[in-house]
Amino acid sequence: MTTVPTEDLQTVTLTVNGSERTVAVPPHRTLLDGLRDEVGLPGTKSCCAEGECGACTVLLDGKAVNSCLVLCVEAEGHEVTTVEGLSDGGLTDLQEEFLNAGAVQCGFCIPGQVVSAEYLLRTNPSPSEPEIREALSGNLCRCAGYQRIVRAVQATAARRNGQ
């Protein structure tokens, strides 16, 4: 069922959401493709495929990256966290605050937004509003107008800081 001869498939072993996974992918396939099509985690969304919209954001060794700009083979031996890996089935405090703030409309961009915001809060637990805007400026949203996402991040920071 594949057009690529078997010898051209690259075997990639990576850790996804804490579990070691081995996938066989053509060398030109992106981490985004690998996560969605091979690992079976469609929470990471595909939109622009050129690193401009942020819908495909994941954590690679703890850093937020556009998974459409990383080849799957480059992830060999690395650790990836997708939106599915942020929580144990329920919602994280950040995701709850996205809902409370009214930041979630169609929801297609939200997994990427959540991952980017989580990375921000892990690296800067008390971000200012300009810092939030800067950190999330690579994540496009066409529905909600951004303001409520900023509020959600602020509310989460306050919650985590015990305020």
Partner 1 sequence: MTTAPERAIEQRDELGLPADPFGSGQVGKPVLRYGGGDRASGAQRFVADLVFPGALQVALVTVPVGCADLLGIDTTAARAIPGVVDVVTPADLPSPMPRFGVSHVDRPVLADGRVNYHGEPVAAVLAETADAAQAGARAVVVDYRELPGVYSLDAALADGAHLVQDPSIRPGHALAETNVLEEAHYTWGDVEAEQQRADVVVENTYTFPMVTHFPIEPGGTVAVPTDQGGLDIYSPVQHPYLLQRTIASVIGLPLNQVRVFAPDPGGGFGGKQNPKLEPLLAFLALRTRRTCRIVLSLEETFQSMRRAGCRISARTGFTKDGELTFHLVQADFQIGAYADVAPRVMGKGSYVAAGPYRIPGVRIDARAVVTNTTPSTAFRGFGSPQVAWATESQLDAGARELGLDGLEIRRRNLVAKGEPFVRGESAAAADGEWIQSLEKAAELIGWDTPLPPGRGRGIAVGIKPGATSGLSQSLVRLLCDGSAIVYAGTSDMGQGARTLWQQIVADELGAELDHVSVVSGDTGTVPFDLQTSASRSTVFMGSAVLEACQDVRRRVLELYAESTGMDPSELDERPGVLVTPDGEISLPEAARTALGSLRGEFIGQGTRRLRGKSKHPLGGDAAFYEFNATAIEVEVDRETGELLLTRHVTVSDVGTELNPLQVVSQDEGAAIMGLGHSQMEQLLLDEHGRIRNLGALDYRIPTFKDVPVELVSAAVENHDGPGPYGSKGISEGALLCTAGALGAAVTDATGVVIRDLPLTPERVWTALQHQH
* Extended strands (E) in 26-157: 57-60, 63-66, 79-81
First to last CA, the chain: 55
**Shortest separation between residue 22's beta carbon and partner 1, angstroms:** 20
* Residue 86 Cα to chain centre, angstroms: 9
Structure tokens at 42: 């469609």
Q: Is the CB of 77 or the CB of 159 nearer to partner 1?
A: 159
Nearest distance, CB of residue 155 and partner 1, angstroms: 9
Residue 77 or 124: the one with the smaller Cβ distance to partner 1 is: 124
CB of 142 to partner 1, least distance (A): 5
Residue closer to partner 1, measured from CB, 15 or 51: 51
Radius of gyration of the chain (CA): 16
130 to each of 92, 112, 117, 154, how far by Cα in Å?
24, 19, 13, 11
Work out how close the CB of 72 gets to partner 1 at its nearest, in angstroms, rounded to a whole number: 13
What is the contact surface with partner 1 in residues (CB under 8 A)? 1-4, 26, 36, 41-50, 52-53, 55, 82-84, 87, 91, 95-96, 98-100, 102-111, 114, 132-134, 136-150
Residue with smaller CB distance to partner 1, 2 or 162? 2
Helix, strand or coil, per DSSP, at residue 64 = strand
Nearer to partner 1 (CB atom), residue 75 or residue 135: 135
User: How far is the C-alpha of 163 from the C-alpha of 159, rounded, in Å?
Assistant: 6
User: What is the C-alpha separation between 146 and 129, in angstroms, rounded?
Assistant: 12
> Rounded to the nearest whole angstrom, what is the least distance from the CB of residue 163 to partner 1 in the complex?
13
